[in-house]
Structure 1
Amino acid sequence: MTVPALYRGLFDDAALFPPGELPLPEAVPAHEAHRAAWYAEAVGPFLCGAGRLADLRATATAPLRVALVLPGGSGQLAPALADAAGLTVVGVELADPDVPAAVVALDEQLPSGVAAAVELARGDGLEAALDVLAGTPYRAKFRTGGLAAGAFPTEAELAAFLAGCAARALPYKCTAGLHHAVRHTDPATGFEHHGFLNVLLAAQAGEDAAAAAEVLAERSGELLAKAALDLTDDQIAVVRGRFTAFGTCSVAEPLDDLAALGLLAPPAPLEDR
């Protein structure tokens, strides 16, 4: 069974992070199970903060593809890379209010073959930060939610980020809040959540922020699913060249959503084949 190209490597495993916060002894075997499952092509690296790397080395029973999440600035990079010795580090996600300093640190310290993303702050300085990242080997990282209503960007704000990245040929990843495929209001919190399928399809709008905002606002799973199925191979390559991945504390939830929308089909049981 092959995962459609639109969803391959889309779901970075953020099980350790809020709101899931799965204990490490549970998160590691769960990730290993994901990587052995029929949908393994959809699963990205295991995300781990700098302070948990020693525990991760002690817990993992098989090689893991790990991405280091470093919210404490560029000064965390060298110590975290040293602490990750023995792990298969495939990515670094670095947050630093001084984006030029983050780029310099990555240029000087990032091992060959390791991908990196720089988390950008929302607000007036975003365009300038995008300019700094443009032309570098690094992706932009943008928060699409959190534990408070104010952590969720509006459709217009997220669309402006997507369009700004497209204008600079700058790939990006998202983190937080993309719990389901389709835009919705969380009945428990009242928070407005973006849908990861909305974001995928909005990436096709390129520099047209108004068109991207319209897609981000769509709440019909049926319409979004049809649009996803209608994408050509070339369009899928463009979309995934822009929107590379997002962190999810539950790999199962987005897969279940795709299956419910008819976009992903688990293999039939052996007795039914």
Structure 2
Amino acid sequence: MTAIESFLNRLIDYAGLFPPASLNMLTSIRNYASYRSGKYAWALGRLIVPVARLTEFSAALTEVGSDEQLTPWLLGALSTGDVQQDARLISGLDPGVAVVDVLESKATNLTEVHKLLLATPPKTTLYVEFPLKNCGQIIPALKEGNARAKIRTGGVTADAIPSVEQVAEFLAACAKARVPFKATAGLHHPLRSVQQLTYEPGSASALMHGFINVFVAAIIAHYGATEEKVLAVLNERDPTAFRWSKHALAWRDQELSAEQIREARETVAIGFGSCSLTEPIADLLDLGWLA
């Protein structure tokens, strides 16, 4: 596996139901089915669906048809906030067709985190989204509970985008505790850049994080990089600073082998949710980083 393949392997969860795309269920399912059989299926992660819409998902999948399915679809499900309701709705899925093996929830404090840890079903991976100011408290608790962290890296308004300092603190805390994480929102493009916040004509623009920045920063943090270097990667806007070869990625004077990338991706830097798979892939093709 090449360095770019190690980096992108199952990196992108498809969240077409969510802003700014906000597609309907049928369209999202058709897109995901197409991605599963497409050229870059190896970069595709789970389909993200709210638990509250799992019944709608099952009906839509039946309508679309599942002849192309060789294996059940893996779903990341967003909790309703009600553990019993989550369990009931998840149990209604046909495991031969789709499986919820990831549950994503929110918590504001340690008490809520501990409740989630106790309530999560066996064999389900729990991701918890929390206020970034609470990194120091909550990430160690996730480690104790064998759960994972989730960071929101953007949104449809500029104030939803966390600062590079906040992202760096989150990545450093995950690296220190060896807690895996995923990101969500605002990572459609590879590099930090000014982009439109929505697909609407005349949409406002803002300086957004890039998924290459965030995950390269996470990987070097995993291998002990200083906070200064992590911040520098998050702030990097020059594509020529990243040099991909078959067996390595170099960012300025820092080199990562394909094996180091694979190990960090599997253990800490898990992936990110995006309402588009085609957009990040197209940008990588334009940069010449992907063939």
- Determine the structure 1 residue equivalent to 2:141: 132
* Local SS of the residue matching 2:20: coil
Query: Structure 1 residues 8, 99: closer, same or farther in 2, change over 3 A?
Result: farther
- State whether structure 2 residue 99 is matched by structure 1 residue 88: yes
Query: Structure 1 residues 75, 119: closer, same or farther in 2, change over 3 A?
Result: farther
Deviation string for 1:32-76 (max 9, x for gaps)? 110111211110110001221111001113242211012636565
User: What is the rounded CA distance, in whole Å, between the counterparts of 2:39 and 2:164 in structure 1?
Assistant: 34
| Larger RCO of the pair (alpha carbons < 8 Å, separation 6+) | 2
Contact 2:192 2:237 in 1 (8 A): yes
Paired residues for 1:84-163 under 5 Å: 84=93, 86=95, 87-112=98-123, 114-123=124-133, 125-163=134-172
Query: Structure 1 residues 172, 109: closer, same or farther in 2, change over 3 A?
Result: closer
Query: Structure 1 residues 76, 167: closer, same or farther in 2, change over 3 A?
Result: farther
1:226 CA displacement: 4.2
1:85 CA displacement: 5.2
Query: Structure 1 residues 210, 76: closer, same or farther in 2, change over 3 A?
Result: farther
Query: Structure 1 residues 105, 155: closer, same or farther in 2, change over 3 A?
Result: closer
Query: Structure 1 residues 42, 119: closer, same or farther in 2, change over 3 A?
Result: same
One-letter amino acid matched to 2:19:
P
Contact 1:14 1:250 in 2 (8 A): yes
- State whether structure 2 residue 261 is matched by structure 1 residue 236: yes
1:213 CA displacement: 0.9
Deviation string for 1:138-174 (max 9, x for gaps)? 1100100012111111111111110111111111100
Contact 1:50 1:69 in 2 (8 A): yes
Choose between structure 1 and 2: higher strand proportion. 2
User: What is the rounded CA distance, in whole Å, between the counterparts of 1:73 and 1:167 in structure 2?
Assistant: 31
Indicate which of 213, 232, 248 corresponds to 1:198: 213
Query: Structure 1 residues 75, 155: closer, same or farther in 2, change over 3 A?
Result: farther
Indicate which of 185, 210, 216 corresponds to 1:176: 185
Paired residues for 1:4-153 under 5 Å: 4-60=5-61, 61-62=65-66, 63-70=72-79, 72=81, 74=83, 77-84=86-93, 86=95, 87-112=98-123, 114-123=124-133, 125-153=134-162
Contact 1:74 1:101 in 2 (8 A): no
- Determine the structure 2 residue equivalent to 1:268: none
Query: Structure 1 residues 74, 130: closer, same or farther in 2, change over 3 A?
Result: farther
1:103 CA displacement: 4.3
User: What is the rounded CA distance, in whole Å, between the counterparts of 1:109 and 1:190 in structure 2?
Assistant: 38
* Local SS of the residue matching 1:89: strand
User: What is the rounded CA distance, in whole Å, between the counterparts of 1:142 and 1:71 in structure 2?
Assistant: 18
Indicate which of 248, 269, 275 corresponds to 1:249: 275
User: What is the rounded CA distance, in whole Å, between the counterparts of 1:32 and 1:192 in structure 2?
Assistant: 32
* Identity over aligned pairs, percent: 32
* Local SS of the residue matching 1:186: strand
User: What is the rounded CA distance, in whole Å, between the counterparts of 1:221 and 1:163 in structure 2?
Assistant: 24
Paired residues for 1:183-222 under 5 Å: 183-187=192-196, 188-206=203-221, 208-222=226-240
Query: Structure 1 residues 90, 223: closer, same or farther in 2, change over 3 A?
Result: same
One-letter amino acid matched to 1:222:
T
1:186 CA displacement: 1.7
Counting matched residue pairs gives: 263
* Local SS of the residue matching 2:132: coil
After TM superposition, the score normalised by the length of structure 2 is 0.82
Query: Structure 1 residues 109, 70: closer, same or farther in 2, change over 3 A?
Result: closer
* Local SS of the residue matching 2:162: coil
Q: Which runs of 5+ in 1 are unaligned?
A: 266-273
One-letter amino acid matched to 2:236:
E
* Local SS of the residue matching 1:237: helix
